[in-house]
Amino acid sequence: MTNLNPSPLTPADLDPADFAPADLAALGEGHIAYVRPIRSDEVRRFFPQAPELLPGLDLFALLSASGAPIMLADSRDVVLANAVAQDLQPVSLH
């Protein structure tokens, strides 16, 4: 990626061809967290260390801007509260 000028951005600063996948994954890291509905059947894909869960449960995952797992809960409100407690701006991922 090219070095960006700290002054106001121009369209040239935002050329998608200059962004590597790692650059895009790092955008918002430490500031934004994604709230994602998740079924218990797919928990291990995001949380490999999670214990075996009953299939068919509706859960919520909190993921960092890069997609790294932060927490899993059975309540959206719990996940949102955790994001706010960690000074993260939660956004929904559908």
Structural domain spans, the chain: 28-90
pLDDT of 83: 93
The reported pLDDT for the residue numbered 31 is: 78
User: Rounded CA gap, 80 and 57, in Å?
Assistant: 19
pLDDT in tens, 31-65: 788 999 999 999 999 999 999 999 999 999 999 88
Q: What is the mean pLDDT of residues 82-91?
A: 91
The arrangement of strands across the sheet holding 89-92 comes to 69-73, 58-64, 32-39, 89-92
Q: What is the pTM of this model?
A: 0.69
Question: Which carries the bigger pLDDT value, residue 68 or residue 2?
Answer: 68
- As a whole-number percent, the residues of the chain with pLDDT over 70 amount to 69
